[in-house]
Amino acid sequence: MAISKEIKGVDEACKDVKDGMTFMLGGFGLCGIPENCIEELVRLGVKDVTCISNNAGVDNFGLGKLLKKSQIRKMISSYVGENEEFERQMLSGELEVDLIPQGSLAERCRAGGAGIPAFYTPAGYGTEVAAGKEVREFNGKPHILESALTADFAFVKAWKGDTSGNLIYKATSRNFNPMMAMAGKITVAEVEELVPLGSLDPNEIHTPGIFVQRIFQGRSYEKRIEQRTVSQNK
């Protein structure tokens, strides 16, 4: 029989989170973020956490909610515009921030999940990002050594999932979720639709269930749009 990862709900999903832990949170902007888990982390009031997430939400949604309650000690991100409270906390020194190139962030999460402790990339050579990092030339081009990232918990959001933790994402909400799912010591997946074992085509799964420890069907997804841009009907 397949190994079941199904849990009852978000409270069980966030069981054992502790102050000072490192979390990964999937999503790009507000697209594909684990809304239910973020709400629960706010409710639990867990503090001094390090959050690895490409963005930091907006002032009143997504990770912005954790920021507002000063639950985050350190952010590891690539882009943190669109959030005034974030900028205030960072410039005042309340919040420690590690900004890293988006591709390096994605690859470092994948490496963490894949047992690759470090790799070389050209991104960031000659910039602040390279400070303190080994530089080595390959094919005449300088590269810097980047290390793997892992987390105590990875919170990811998928479109569909089955009870053994297999996940399918929709459109561009996939983004960082698959790599972060790989890199969590405990990976929690919240899905819009939890389906029975055997309902997903094994050929179409984006995240194999082996990477997921807990899965539940989330509720009341708001799926807020950051920049609603439209074309005129011709």
Partner 1 sequence: MLDKNGIARRIAQEVQNGQYVNLGIGIPTLVANHIPEGLDVEFQSENGILGMGPFPIEGTEDADLINAGKQTITALPGAVFFDSATSFAMIRGQHVQLTVLGAMEVSANGDIANWKIPGKMVKGMGGAMDLVASAENIVVAMMHTNRAGESKLLPTCSLPLTGVGCVKRVVTNLAVLDIKNGAFHLVERAPGVTVEEIVNATDGALILPEVVPEMSL
Site for a second copy, rule CB under 8 A: 107, 111, 114-122, 136, 138-139, 143, 147, 168-171, 202-204
Contacts of 89 (CB under 8 A, 6+ apart): 67, 70, 95
DSSP characters over 42-69:
HHHT--SEEEE-S---BTTBTTHHHHHT
Range 152-162 burial, b when 16+ CB lie within 10 A, else e: bbbbbbbbbbb
Q: Which residue in the set 35, 40, 107, 146 belongs to the binding site for partner 1 (CB under 8 A)?
A: 107
Contacts of 222 (CB under 8 A, 6+ apart): 35, 61
* Separation of CA 184 from chain center: 10
Decide which of partner 1, a second copy, none touches 34; Cβ closer than 5 to 8 Å per partner kind.
none
172-211 binders of partner 1 (CB under 8 A): 172-179, 182, 197-198, 202-203, 205-206, 208-211
27-46 binders of partner 1 (CB under 8 A): 28-32
Reference 24, options 177, 113, 154; nearest CA is 154
Decide which of a second copy, partner 1, none touches 120; Cβ closer than 5 to 8 Å per partner kind.
a second copy
Under rule CB under 8 A, residue 226 binds partner 1: yes
Decide which of a second copy, partner 1, none touches 92; Cβ closer than 5 to 8 Å per partner kind.
none
**Which is it for strands 118-121 and 141-147: parallel, antiparallel or unpaired?**
antiparallel
By beta-carbon proximity to a second copy, the closer residue of 45 and 142 is 142
Under rule CB under 8 A, residue 91 binds partner 1: yes
Decide which of a second copy, partner 1, none touches 138; Cβ closer than 5 to 8 Å per partner kind.
a second copy
